[in-house]
Chain A
Amino acid sequence: MTNPSHNTDANPVAHDPHDSVYDGLLVNDAHWAFGTDFEDPLAGVDTTVPEGMEPGDLAAYCLMLGDDALILSHRLSEWCSSAPDLEEDIALANIALDLLGQARLLLARAAAADPSVVPALPEGSPVPAEDALAYFRSCQEFRNLRLVEAPNGDFAETISRLLVFATYRLALFERLTQSPDAVLAAVAAKGVKELTYHRDFAGRWFLTLAQGTEESRRRLLAGLATVWPLRAELFASHEVEARIGVDPASIAADVDVVLEQVFAVSGVERPTARALAGVEGQTGRDGMHSEALSRLLAEMQVVAREHPMGVW
């Protein structure tokens, strides 16, 4: 806690035994350098594509996993200053930040594997590859699951989606640590630790809302029912996933075990709602999205697209 006599004439800062290590932050402008400079998030990392993997496949796979993280990160960040209380506001923002970091690494890895996936920008544009992928692709070029693009709904619906997503992604990343691609394996190894906190957070809130008041339970069941039809798509193998990544069909049973565990403790029946069909057999991994994604991208991309030569 701050010393109340701090900074008075009687007790000059230089002799104050309560001098804080944070004091330097107030006088040294060099420390306020956040965001003034781009850096390659894979600087110095060997990004050689492993033998037997097509660069185009690896890039496509990284876009799938990167886009899932990017789009859900954006949705979660919409809770900033709107969550039920300050602690949950901070928690959702922290989860969004972890996912944004994963997205940045994965999009950078996609660009390094196959530079042809990066949208062309005007000559001399300072926009780095991962930002070009995030801000200058159109809706149908995104490869995320439709689960992550749906609007947040209320807090209970957000928690239901986060539980399903974090459970799925944690199971996936646990296996991805064995990827022949060293970059993907490293991103996954770090991600596992972060996703463990995300899944526990969502699971605890799911239980709390289910066992809370009549109203919290009603909202949770409604939120879960809204999210559930988008769940099946998580486990439908896209050919790229099956070829070079973790085949999502192979994790379905493990994900179900964890979800059943949460449902049982919470006294919630597993929903029976039918899966949302694709459009002519195509879903998020093929670039087939709901209208919600185009609205999300319009907001997320508008400033970057207005200023392709901008330096931030």
Chain B
Amino acid sequence: MAALLDRARELVATVTDPELPMLTLEDLGVLRDVSVDENGTVTVAITPTYSGCPAMATMRDDIVRTLKEAGLEATVRLTLSPAWTTDWISERGRTALAEHGISPPGRATPVAGPVALTLSPLRRAVHCPQCGSVDVEVTSEFGSTACKALYRCLTCLEPFDHVKEI
């Protein structure tokens, strides 16, 4: 059974995020638990990134399919608490994002007391993933997917995505 569990963990670890395919679900930090019951059925627990993330159903289908192709039956369940934060993206995941031209998130600010209103642009230590320049500006806090802000490099003039801290 331990061997089966290791095998299941290994397989699940290869499943990638449908919107950020350079990241495995493990690197993204949404994989919470893998277990095997006495019948050999695998249960995988994942946690949503954003409430409305349309990738959740695809993640579930990809996990089930990957395990099925290896002859394993699987069910996927959701874990809502504690809520996912970008701090759970692994170092390897951060490197992979940067290598693919996406600026990785900084540390998510811990919430203590009421959330402060921020009317000026958020201050982040972001550099351009294309040319490395720190002379960048935010175009919009909302980008091509729920998890990204849109930036522009003022040196090489390329736009780029930044995975925003939550």
The interface of chain A, by Cβ under 8 A from chain B, is: 1, 20-22, 24-25, 30-31, 33-35, 37, 39, 41-45, 87-88, 90-91, 93-95, 97-102, 104-105, 170-171, 174, 182-183, 185-187, 189-194, 196-197, 199-201, 203-204, 207, 254, 258, 261-262, 265
Which B residue's beta carbon lies closest to that of A182?
Answer: B81
> Which residues of the partner chain A approach B146 to less than 8 Å between Cβ atoms?
94, 97-98
Query: Interface of B with A (CB < 8 Å)?
Result: 16, 18, 21-22, 43, 45, 48, 50-54, 56-58, 60-62, 65, 75-85, 100, 111, 114-115, 117-119, 122, 130, 139-144, 146, 150, 158, 164, 166
CB atoms of A24 and B21 under 8 A apart: yes
Chain B's nearest CB lies how many Å from the CB of A200? 5
Q: B115 to A196, Cβ gap below 8 A?
A: yes
A21 touches B139 (CB 8 A): no
A22-B21, A42-B78 given; A90·B142 CB < 8 A: yes
| B48 neighbours in A (Cβ, 8 Å) | 101, 190
Within the assembled complex, what's the spacing in Å between the Cα atoms of A241 and B163?
36
Q: List 29 A-B contacts (CB under 8 A).
A: A20-B100, A31-B18, A39-B57, A87-B140, A87-B150, A88-B140, A90-B142, A94-B142, A95-B142, A97-B54, A98-B51, A98-B146, A100-B52, A101-B48, A101-B50, A101-B51, A101-B53, A105-B51, A174-B114, A174-B115, A189-B81, A189-B83, A190-B48, A190-B51, A190-B83, A190-B84, A192-B115, A196-B115, A261-B117
Complex Cα–Cα for A42 and B48 (A): 11
Interchain CB contact under 8 A, A262 and B119: yes
CA of A185 to CA of B82 in the docked complex: distance in angstroms?
10
